[in-house]
Chain A
C-alpha cells in the first residue's frame, strides 16, 4: 500500500483493492445481455432440439452394428453444426459494435478507462460464453439421450466434436466481430455476415468441387488440397471431426483425411488461427477508427 500523499485523484477508500479487468467486465455484461434478450435461451433450445432430433433419428437404425451409437450421432451432429454454429455465431456477433454505436452507448463506453481492443476482447469472451454454453448444454442433452438408450461407447469422439464445435463458433464470432468493428451500420455488418456464411458453408465447397471436376480426375497435389481445406474453417472442422475413427467410415471423410498431411493438431491450429487473425484485425481496425 502506498500512502496517498501525491495521488489526490480520488479518496483511497473509494477504490477497490483489485479492480476487475475491463475485458472481464464487458464479457460479463455481454453474457448478462445475452440472458436478458433471450439469445442464450433460444440458442440453447435450438441446439438441444436439433441435436436431440438427430440423436433420436441417428441412433435408431444402428442396432447390432459394431459402431457406437454416439459415433453415428457425431456424424449427424457435425453436419448440422457446420451449417448452424457459424450462423448463430454470426448472428450474435455481427452487431456487437454497431449495436452500441446505433444505440448511442458506444461513446459513453469508450469514455471509460479502457482500451478499444479490450472492448473487442470482452465482447468476444462473453459471446464465446453464450456459444459454449448453448453447444455444451445442447449436445449433452442429445448425448444423454443416446447414452441412456445405447451406452457410452464413442464418448471421446463426441467430446472432441463438442470442443471442435465451440472452436468453430469462436472462428465465426471473431469474423462477425471483424465485420461489426469495420462498418458503421448493423445492416451492413449483417450483409457481410450473410456473405461470409454463404461463402464458407456453401460456395467455397462447390467451387472446390467444380475445380476438382474441371481437373478431369487428374490428381491435384496433396498440399494444394490441404491448403484448400484449411483455407475454409468449416472444411477444417469437417476434417477434424469426421476424418478419423468410426465417424470417418460413416461420413466418407476418412478417404480425404487418409490422403492428407493434416493432423488433428494442425487442423486445430488452423482453426485457432482462423479465430485469432480476424479478432486481431478487428481490434486493430476498431482502435484506428474515428468515432
Chain B
C-alpha cells in the first residue's frame, strides 16, 4: 500500500508556451517535513497551486490526499495552506476571520482559543486585522492553516519577512504537526534557515527537480568540503594560512583525523563549518548549468 499524501508522476505545466514545470515526479509521505527550494520562478508556487487544484497540470498524474485536487474538493478538508505574504479582509477581527475559514472547512466556528494561544495571538484576537503587522498576519495565517489538524500542510514562503523569534516558533509548530503525522511542504528561497528544520529537501531549478534527499545526502552528493579554521603557533600539516588563521578543507571522512591533528598542533579558536544549504544549492545550480 502506498500511503503517500502527495504523488506527482510526470507532471508538466506550461503557461503561454513557457514550460514552468518539467516532468516532475516525487512522493511525499506522512510525518515528513519537506523543503521545496529554488529561486523565484523555479516553479515552487505553481506546484503548490497544482496541489490545491487551482491550476491543472498539462500532463502527468497528480494525487493529493488520495484524490485529483482539481476534482475532489473534499480532500481539501484535510489540507492547510498558508499563501505567500498572506492577506485577510482588513475590517474583520482575527476571531471572525478564523471563524469564517473554520466554517468553510466544516468545523465549528467557535472554540479555537487554543489555536490563538499556539500562534501567540490570544491578546489580539478581537482586534481588526487592519492594524496587524506582517508578523501577526502570518501568525493568523498559520492558525488558519492548521485549523482542524490538517494531514497536509502547504506553506509558501512561510518565513519571508518574519523576525527570527517568530521564525523559530513557526518551525516549532511545523515540527509538532509532523510528529502528529502531518506532511509539511514548505517552499523557501531563504535556504540557510531551513537547516535542521526540513528532513528532506527538493531542489528546483527552472521547473526541474535537480536534487532530492536529506540535508546529509545532498551534502554528500554535492561533495563540497567542510572548512576547519583555527589558530595555532606551529605549522599544522596540510593547513593553509589565511590571514591569522589556519584553514583546512575536509571531506566528511577526513574530519576526525584532521581534528585530532589540529588539536595536537595546539589549535585554539576552532571553527568547523559544513557547507551551508546555500553552498549546496549553488553547487547544484552550477552543475546544472555545466
Whether a CB of chain A sits under 8 angstroms from the CB of B149 is: yes
Whether a CB of chain B sits under 8 angstroms from the CB of A11 is: yes
Cα A29 to Cα B100 in complex, Å, equals: 8
User: Could you tell me if B54 and A111 are in contact, using CB atoms closer than 8 angstroms?
Assistant: yes
Of the listed stretches B101-109, B116-124, B209-217, B222-230, chain A binds: B101-109
Whether a CB of chain A sits under 8 angstroms from the CB of B197 is: no
Cα A42 to Cα B106 in complex, Å, equals: 33
**A104 with B83, Cβ < 8 A, contacts A110-B52, A112-B101, A290-B56 known:** yes
Whether a CB of chain A sits under 8 angstroms from the CB of B87 is: yes
User: Could you tell me if B87 and A104 are in contact, using CB atoms closer than 8 angstroms?
Assistant: yes
Whether a CB of chain B sits under 8 angstroms from the CB of A217 is: no
- Closest B residue to A107 by CB, please name it: B83
**A105 with B87, Cβ < 8 A, contacts A9-B77, A25-B100, A290-B55 known:** yes
Whether a CB of chain A sits under 8 angstroms from the CB of B285 is: no
Whether a CB of chain B sits under 8 angstroms from the CB of A291 is: yes
Whether a CB of chain A sits under 8 angstroms from the CB of B184 is: no
User: Could you tell me if B83 and A108 are in contact, using CB atoms closer than 8 angstroms?
Assistant: yes
Q: Which of B85, B101, B106 contacts A104 (CB 8 A)?
A: B85
User: Could you tell me if A10 and B91 are in contact, using CB atoms closer than 8 angstroms?
Assistant: no
Within 8 A of B (CB), among A7-40: 9-11, 14-16, 19-20, 22, 25-26, 29, 32-33, 36-37
Within 8 A of A (CB), among B31-89: 49, 52-56, 73-79, 81, 83, 85-89
User: Could you tell me if B148 and A25 are in contact, using CB atoms closer than 8 angstroms?
Assistant: no
Cα A111 to Cα B106 in complex, Å, equals: 13
Cα A105 to Cα B53 in complex, Å, equals: 16
Q: Which of A10, A29, A36, A103 contacts B78 (CB 8 A)?
A: A10
Contact residues in B for A111 (Cβ distance below 8 Å): 52, 54, 76, 79, 81, 83, 154
Best-buried of B15, B53, B141, B154 by chain A (most CB within 10 Å) = B53
Q: Which of B81, B100, B103, B151 contacts A19 (CB 8 A)?
A: B103
- Closest B residue to A111 by CB, please name it: B81
Contact residues in B for A113 (Cβ distance below 8 Å): 73-77, 104-106
User: Could you tell me if A33 and B52 are in contact, using CB atoms closer than 8 angstroms?
Assistant: no
User: Could you tell me if A114 and B73 are in contact, using CB atoms closer than 8 angstroms?
Assistant: yes
Cα A82 to Cα B64 in complex, Å, equals: 50
User: Could you tell me if B52 and A104 are in contact, using CB atoms closer than 8 angstroms?
Assistant: no
User: Could you tell me if B91 and A33 are in contact, using CB atoms closer than 8 angstroms?
Assistant: yes
User: Could you tell me if B103 and A105 are in contact, using CB atoms closer than 8 angstroms?
Assistant: no
Whether a CB of chain B sits under 8 angstroms from the CB of A209 is: no
- Closest B residue to A25 by CB, please name it: B103
Cα A243 to Cα B89 in complex, Å, equals: 45
Contact residues in A for B53 (Cβ distance below 8 Å): 110
Contact residues in B for A110 (Cβ distance below 8 Å): 52-54
Best-buried of B104, B108, B141 by chain A (most CB within 10 Å) = B104
Whether a CB of chain A sits under 8 angstroms from the CB of B144 is: yes
Query: How near does chain A come to B278, taking the closest CB pair, in angstroms?
Result: 29
Query: How near does chain A come to B214, taking the closest CB pair, in angstroms?
Result: 27
Q: Which of A15, A29, A103, A108 contacts B107 (CB 8 A)?
A: A15
User: Could you tell me if A105 and B89 are in contact, using CB atoms closer than 8 angstroms?
Assistant: yes
Cα A16 to Cα B104 in complex, Å, equals: 12
Count residues of A near B (Cβ-Cβ below 8 Å): 30
Within 8 A of B (CB), among A49-72: none
Query: How near does chain A come to B66, taking the closest CB pair, in angstroms?
Result: 10
- Closest B residue to A108 by CB, please name it: B83
Whether a CB of chain B sits under 8 angstroms from the CB of A261 is: no
Whether a CB of chain A sits under 8 angstroms from the CB of B92 is: yes
Q: Which of B55, B74, B81 contacts A108 (CB 8 A)?
A: B81
**A11 with B88, Cβ < 8 A, contacts A108-B81, A113-B73 known:** no
Contact residues in A for B149 (Cβ distance below 8 Å): 10-11, 14
- Closest A residue to B51 by CB, please name it: A111
Cα A109 to Cα B100 in complex, Å, equals: 10
Cα A32 to Cα B77 in complex, Å, equals: 24
User: Could you tell me if A9 and B52 are in contact, using CB atoms closer than 8 angstroms?
Assistant: no
Query: How near does chain A come to B76, taking the closest CB pair, in angstroms?
Result: 4
Contact residues in B for A20 (Cβ distance below 8 Å): 103
Contact residues in B for A26 (Cβ distance below 8 Å): 104
- Closest A residue to B74 by CB, please name it: A113
Query: How near does chain B come to A214, taking the closest CB pair, in angstroms?
Result: 46
User: Could you tell me if B52 and A114 are in contact, using CB atoms closer than 8 angstroms?
Assistant: no
Q: Which of B56, B88, B104 contacts A22 (CB 8 A)?
A: B104
- Closest A residue to B54 by CB, please name it: A291
Cα A16 to Cα B79 in complex, Å, equals: 17
Whether a CB of chain B sits under 8 angstroms from the CB of A202 is: no
Query: How near does chain A come to B156, taking the closest CB pair, in angstroms?
Result: 9
Interface residues of B (CB under 8 A from A): 15, 49, 52-56, 73-79, 81, 83, 85-89, 91-92, 96, 100-101, 103-108, 141, 144, 148-149, 151, 154
21 contacting pairs across A/B (C-beta < 8 A): A10-B149, A14-B108, A15-B106, A19-B103, A20-B103, A22-B104, A32-B96, A107-B49, A107-B81, A107-B83, A108-B87, A110-B52, A110-B53, A111-B79, A111-B81, A111-B83, A112-B104, A113-B73, A113-B76, A291-B54, A291-B55
For the A-B complex with A105-B88, A107-B52 known, give 7 more contacts whose Cβ atoms are closer than 8 Å.
A9-B151, A11-B149, A14-B108, A16-B107, A32-B96, A33-B91, A110-B54
| The 5 residue pairs across chains A and B that have the minimum distance between CB atoms | A104-B87, A19-B106, A111-B81, A36-B91, A112-B104
